[in-house]
Amino acid sequence: MKMTLKTLAMFLLSLPVAVACVGLVSAPAAEPHKDRCVVLVSIDGLAGFYLDDPKAELPTLRRLAREGARAEGLECSFPSVTWPNHTTLVTGVPPAKHGVIGNNYLNRESGEKVPFIPDPLFDKDEIVKSPTVYDVAHVAGLTTAGIIWPASRNAKTLDWTVPDMAGDDAWPKYGTQHWLAELKAAGIPFDKHGTWVRESSGGVQRDWLYTRLAGHLFEHHPPNLLMIHLVETDHVQHRFGPRTPEAYWSVSYADDRLRDLIEFAKRSPYADKTTFVIASDHGFFPIEKDIRPNVLLRLMGLLTVENGKLGDKQAYCVSQGGGCMVYLLNKNRRSEMVEKLTEALKLIEGVEAVIGPDDLERVGQPSPENNTLAPDMWITAKSGYSFTDDHASDDVVAPRAQRGGTHGYLPGDRDMLGTLVVWGYGVKDGATLGRVSNLDVAPTIAALLGVAMPSADGKPLTDILTAQD
- Contact call for residues 73 and 418 (beta carbons, < 8 A): yes
CA distance 37 to 265: 9
Evaluated on CA atoms 287, 288, 291, 295, the torsion sign reads positive
Residue 121 pLDDT grade (very low, low, confident, very high; cuts 50, 70, 90): very high
CA distance 130 to 113: 24
Q: 120 pLDDT exceeds 80?
A: yes
Predicted local distance difference test score (pLDDT) of residue 131: 98
HEC string for the chain: CHHHHHHHHHHHHCCCCCCCCHHHCCCCCCCCCCCCEEEEEEECCCCHHHHHCCCCCCHHHHHHHHHCEEEEEEECCCCCCHHHHHHHHHHCCCHHHHCCCCCEEECCCCCCEEECCCCCCCCHHHHCCCCCHHHHHHHCCCCEEEECCCCCCCCCCCCEEECCCCCCCHHHHHCCHHHHHHHHHCCCCHHHHHHHHHCCCHHHHHHHHHHHHHHHHHHHCCCCEEEEEECHHHHHHHHHCCCCHHHHHHHHHHHHHHHHHHHHHCCCCCHHHEEEEEECCCCCEEEEEEECHHHHHHHCCCEEEECCEEEEECEEEEEECCEEEEEECCHHHHHHHHHHHHHHHHCCCCEEEEECHHHCHHHCCCCCCCCCCCCCEEEEECCEEEECCCCCCCCCEEEEEEEEEECCCCCCCHHHCECEEEEECCECCCEEEEEEEHHHHHHHHHHHHCCCCCCCCCCCCHHHECCCC
Q: How many angstroms separate the first and last alpha carbons of the chain?
A: 55
Predicted local distance difference test score (pLDDT) of residue 8: 43
pLDDT tens digits, 247-282: 999 999 999 999 999 999 999 999 999 999 999 999
Omega before 94 within 30 of 0, i.e. cis: no
Q: What are the residue ranges spanned by the domains of the chain?
A: 36-99+118-284+412-464, 286-405
Q: 52 pLDDT exceeds 70?
A: yes
Predicted local distance difference test score (pLDDT) of residue 31: 87
Torsion of CA 265, 269, 274, 277, to 10 degrees: -50
Predicted local distance difference test score (pLDDT) of residue 25: 45
Q: 3 pLDDT exceeds 60?
A: no
Least Cα distance to 219 among 255, 161, 271 occurs for 271
Predicted local distance difference test score (pLDDT) of residue 7: 46
Q: 202 pLDDT exceeds 90?
A: no
Residue 218 pLDDT grade (very low, low, confident, very high; cuts 50, 70, 90): very high
What value does the mean pLDDT take over residues 401-427?
97
pLDDT tens digits, 280-319: 999 999 999 999 999 999 999 999 988 778 888 999 999 9
- Residues 220, 31, 276: CA angle, nearest 5 degrees: 50
- Contact call for residues 161 and 146 (beta carbons, < 8 A): yes
Length of the chain: 469
Residue 200 pLDDT grade (very low, low, confident, very high; cuts 50, 70, 90): confident
Least Cα distance to 78 among 347, 372, 418, 338 occurs for 418
Predicted local distance difference test score (pLDDT) of residue 29: 47
Predicted local distance difference test score (pLDDT) of residue 469: 62
Least Cα distance to 216 among 245, 247, 254, 186 occurs for 186
Q: Round the average pLDDT of the chain to a whole number and report it.
A: 93
Predicted local distance difference test score (pLDDT) of residue 168: 94
- Reported pTM: 0.93
For residue 185, count CB atoms less than 10 angstroms from its CB and return exposed for 0-12, middle for 13-18, buried for 19 or more.
exposed
pLDDT tens digits, 363-390: 999 999 999 999 999 999 999 999 999 9
Tell the CATH topology of 286-405. Gyrase A; domain 2 (3.30.1360)
CA distance 85 to 281: 5
What value does the mean pLDDT take over residues 186-211?
94
CA distance 137 to 127: 20
Residues 191-198: contacts with CB under 8 Å, at least 24 apart: 193/162, 194/166, 194/167, 194/168, 194/169, 194/170, 195/168, 197/166, 197/167, 198/166
Note the CATH architecture for domain 36-99+118-284+412-464.
Answer: 3-Layer(aba) Sandwich (3.40)
Q: 18 pLDDT exceeds 50?
A: no
Q: 234: alpha, beta or left, given left = phi > 0 and alpha = psi -120 to 50?
A: alpha
- Strand 351-355 relative to strand 377-381: parallel, antiparallel, unpaired? antiparallel
What percent of the chain is modeled with pLDDT above 70?
A: 93
* Poorest-pLDDT segment among 103-117, 156-170, 191-205, 373-387: 191-205
Predicted local distance difference test score (pLDDT) of residue 305: 87
Predicted local distance difference test score (pLDDT) of residue 4: 45
Which amino acid does the sequence have at 25?
Answer: V
- The neighbour count for residue 133, using CB atoms within 10 Å, is 29
Residue 13 pLDDT grade (very low, low, confident, very high; cuts 50, 70, 90): low
Q: Taking each helix axis as running N to C, give the angle between helix 202-220 and helix 245-265, from 0 to 180 degrees, rounded to the nearest 10.
A: 10
Q: 220 pLDDT exceeds 80?
A: yes
Q: 20 pLDDT exceeds 70?
A: no
Predicted local distance difference test score (pLDDT) of residue 310: 87
What value does the mean pLDDT take over residues 432-460?
97
